[in-house]
Amino acid sequence: MTSVPDAIPESIHADQQVDASLRAELARGDMALSTLTPVLTHFLNTQDRSLFSDSIVARVRGMLRSASYRLLRVEAEEIGANDVFAYAEARADMLAEELARHAGFLGHCHALSIEWQLADRLRSRNGIDPILSPLLQSLIATGDAQLSDAAMGTLAAQARFIEQQKRMEMPLAELPEEQFVNFISVWRRQREDLSDDLAGSVETRIRQMRADNEARLSLLERTAAGLGARADVALSLAHAGAALFLTTLAHKAGQDRDIAVVSTNDRQLVRFALSLRAAGLSPAETRAQLRCLHPDASMPAAIAQVSRADARALLESSPFGHAE
């Protein structure tokens, strides 16, 4: 939480435009000052830079811009701009900047880039295929037509995801509904001058695009749900791959998926271990998954002693501990 006041008291100066712009600039500075300590503290206290590495920051920035650019292209087409590319190009940075101030949206992009980084690390270190895991392979070949269909879709979506992450892209069709709504509201706030009609038709067209392509996260959920009582098989990183593992973990531990993704970081060891316990893994199985992620870390002894219900209660007591 920051301590920035919502607005500087109007009484100081209220009448001039110059003041307004100065005030906005000052507020930005305030924001930077107020985040100085937590950011610095984080870096001083952790050896691991993976949450804020240059690559992650660049990827998040790229995703914000990519999402903005894609929306603005639709806007340009609806307006009938001569050069839709130039139109979108000229406005994408501004929208991306605004989007970066939305904590929820930003958090989602950050989680996706962490997930990609994790998949890439598991590939190079443990030989775990980021696209086609053994579990997914067996599900595609399964006799259950619905499950096999979901698994096939997941495979294609996962291949797209890896590709998009390499290119730092964020297609609108891949956004979960909640983040899509956030995005649209940020855009509407910034482009107040657009008529409701126009904004409506832009949104309708994008919603159509979204309906035509089932998002990866929804396919992953469908696959995890299709496993039903056998969902435990997906709680192995090596067998299920990071994507399906994380969806299943979030679902079974009652966590937000984005939080589950970030909990794979080595500063979140306890959260990760508690989630595994809450999802129903035994202490030995929990230790095995932990070791797969952090070969050098040892599991805190207390983890073996908490029950599944305790683990869940502990997680829920954390402000980030449960799905919305």
Question: Interface with other proteins by CB under 8 A: which residues?
Answer: 127, 129, 131-132, 152, 155-156, 159-160, 163, 166-167
Q: Which is nearer to other proteins, 28 or 166 (CB)?
A: 166
- What's the Cα-to-Cα distance from 261 to each of 51, 114, 243, 257, 272, rounded to whole Å? 11, 7, 9, 6, 9
Q: Which is nearer to other proteins, 160 or 239 (CB)?
A: 160
Q: Which is nearer to other proteins, 164 or 264 (CB)?
A: 164
Q: Which residues does 265 contact at the CB level (< 8 Å), separation at least 6?
A: 48, 50, 51, 114
Q: Which residues does 153 contact at the CB level (< 8 Å), separation at least 6?
A: 214, 219, 222
Q: Which is nearer to other proteins, 131 or 170 (CB)?
A: 131
The least CB distance from residue 140 to other proteins, in Å, is 8
The least CB distance from residue 162 to other proteins, in Å, is 9
The least CB distance from residue 243 to other proteins, in Å, is 14
Which of 237, 47, 247 has the alpha carbon at shortest distance from 125? 237
The least CB distance from residue 190 to other proteins, in Å, is 22
Q: Which is nearer to other proteins, 146 or 298 (CB)?
A: 146
The least CB distance from residue 132 to other proteins, in Å, is 7
Distance CA 219, CA 160 (A): 13
Q: Which is nearer to other proteins, 59 or 251 (CB)?
A: 59
The least CB distance from residue 294 to other proteins, in Å, is 22
Q: Which is nearer to other proteins, 19 or 120 (CB)?
A: 120
Map 159-190 to HEC letters: HHHHHHHHCCCCCHHHCCHHHHHHHHHHHHHH
The least CB distance from residue 172 to other proteins, in Å, is 14
